[in-house]
């Protein structure tokens, strides 16, 4: 792969963001790292979410074999291991050593090779256009500066950047508002953000990327689907809501792939 600007050294690190932000402290908890996947991907709905995510990533990336992929905010390495099993050359970073420890253990158990490194999305320690594909899941919703994060993802990507986020036009926005209120009252919670597709598209546009395709998963809240715990109900109800025309404007989470413009 030709990298016209990627042969030089990595740029000097930008001014670091505050490590006091909850997104650093919460994921530095060993218990959080140990139970992360179980809480999000267990049970029939968690398995449905994981399976859909894997399928969407494969469709957005296309050929995976032999491609250079960077997984930013890899957490326990779920996406990184998926790419590595598909034959990609994978580098995966996270700001939490505790999460990386779980990811490294899983890679060893599955006998796949991933280069795991400690790193921060706000200042990626890689040259420009170093990776063919850059993937960043469940991170923009937490990152202290999401626009700066997108700029860094675009800087190190040669061709594609894939991100996801809760939609500000969905029912998920109500949960976001409740979490922020709870956090402001001193309760321990993760006061993450919801974003609009327009705002995210504008951020990519400023960095020379255009949105190529978008996937939206649920109209109803994920928490509701998990509380009911029926894959059959989830598939049936979401199909009905999609047919009613509600998924496109109100579906969440949103996963999108942006492609570098030919002129960039």
Q: What pLDDT does 57 receive?
A: 97
Residues 6+ apart with CB under 8 A from 214: 197, 254, 255, 256
Element (H, E) at 254: strand 252-260
The span from the CA of 125 to the CA of 145, in Å, is 17
Residues of the chain with pLDDT under 50: 1-13
209-218 and 252-260: which strand pairing? Answer: antiparallel
The CATH code that applies to domain 22-260 is: 3.40.50.150
- The pTM score is 0.90
Sheet-wide strand order for 157-165? 115-118, 89-94, 68-72, 131-136, 157-165, 252-260, 209-218
Q: What pLDDT does 2 receive?
A: 37
DSSP state of 188: -
Which sign does the torsion angle of CA 174, 50, 21, 120 carry? negative
| pLDDT (tens digit per residue) in 230-262 | 999 999 999 999 999 999 999 999 999 999 998
Q: What pLDDT does 97 receive?
A: 96
157-165 and 68-72: which strand pairing? Answer: unpaired
Q: Is residue 115 classed as helix, strand or coil in its secondary structure?
A: strand
Q: What pLDDT does 175 receive?
A: 79
Q: What pLDDT does 187 receive?
A: 72
The span from the CA of 65 to the CA of 47, in Å, is 25
């Amino acid at each position: 792969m030709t990298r016209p600007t990627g042969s030089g050294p990595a740029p000097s690190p930008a001014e670091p963001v505050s490590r006091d932000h909850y997104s650093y402290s919460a994921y530095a908890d060993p218990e959080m790292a140990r139970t992360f996947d179980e809480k999000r991907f267990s049970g029939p709905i968690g398995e449905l979410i994981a399976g859909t995510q894997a399928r969407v990533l494969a469709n957005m990336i296309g050929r995976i074999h032999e491609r250079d992929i960077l997984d930013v905010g890899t957490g326990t390495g779920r996406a990184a291991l998926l790419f590595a099993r598909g034959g990609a050359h994978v580098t995966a970073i996270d700001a939490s050593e505790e999460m990386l420890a779980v990811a490294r253990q899983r890679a060893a158990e599955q006998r796949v090779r991933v280069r795991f490194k400690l790193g921060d999305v706000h200042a990626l320690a890689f040259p420009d256009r170093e990776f063919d594909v850059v993937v960043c899941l469940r991170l923009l919703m937490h990152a202290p500066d999401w626009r700066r994060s997108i700029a860094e993802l675009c800087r190190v990507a040669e061709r594609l950047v894939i991100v996801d986020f809760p939609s500000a036009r969905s029912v998920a926005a109500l949960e976001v508002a409740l979490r922020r209120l709870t956090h402001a009252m001193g309760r321990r919670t993760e006061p993450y953000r919801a974003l609009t597709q327009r705002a995210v598209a504008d951020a990519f546009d400023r960095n020379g990327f255009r949105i190529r395709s978008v996937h939206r998963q649920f109209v109803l809240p994920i928490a509701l689907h998990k509380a009911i715990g029926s894959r059959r109900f989830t598939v049936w109800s979401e199909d009905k809501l999609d047919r009613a025309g509600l998924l496109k404007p109100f579906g969440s989470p949103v996963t999108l792939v942006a492609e570098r413009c030919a002129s960039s």
